[in-house]
Amino acid sequence: MRYFTVRSRDFEKNFYSVFGAMLADARRKRRVSQEALAEELDLTRTSITNIEKGRQPIQLHSLYLVAQSLGVEVKDLLPSPDALKMVQPATNLSVSNAEWLKTMDLKMPQGAVKNGKGRGTGKAIAGK
């Protein structure tokens, strides 16, 4: 049975995104901080964050060290083909706070000032 018919950048992004979420979940379940895991693996906390967000691939030997550190099997950190099928690549997620609040049916706080980029600065206009 063939699960993947096309090698693509989207597949790679989805794989590392799902892997990162599974790693973060396993780490949290064992109550291990990103900093503690990073220290044990001789990485930076930023690297752990980037791996968990799917922005940084993990080296194969590091995968084994992560599994050992968290007390899980390597296979428990790897996404199944079915898990990868369910993930759709995110597209065009950049929205302003005002657009997001509108979508969530919320309103900008009274007195909030928008800067030129559509984000509230949180500062009230004096006298208005």
**pTM > 0.75:** no
Structure tokens at 84: 């990868």
Which pLDDT does position 89 carry in this prediction? Answer: 47
User: What span, in angstroms and rounded, lies between the C-alpha atoms of 18 and 64?
Assistant: 17
Query: 19: buried, middle or exposed (CB in 10 Å: 19+, 13-18, 0-12)?
Result: buried
9-86 CATH: 1.10.260.40
Alpha-carbon torsion 78, 79, 81, 84, what sign? negative
Which pLDDT does position 118 carry in this prediction? Answer: 47
Give the CB-side neighbour count of residue 48, counting CA atoms within 13 A: 22
- Each domain of the chain, given as residue ranges in start order, spans 9-86, 94-128
User: What span, in angstroms and rounded, lies between the C-alpha atoms of 21 and 31?
Assistant: 15
Confidence category of residue 121, pLDDT binned at 50, 70, 90: very low
109-119 pLDDT, tens digit per residue, is 566 555 544 44
2-52 pLDDT, tens digit per residue, is 555 456 778 888 899 999 999 999 999 999 999 999 999 999 999 999 999
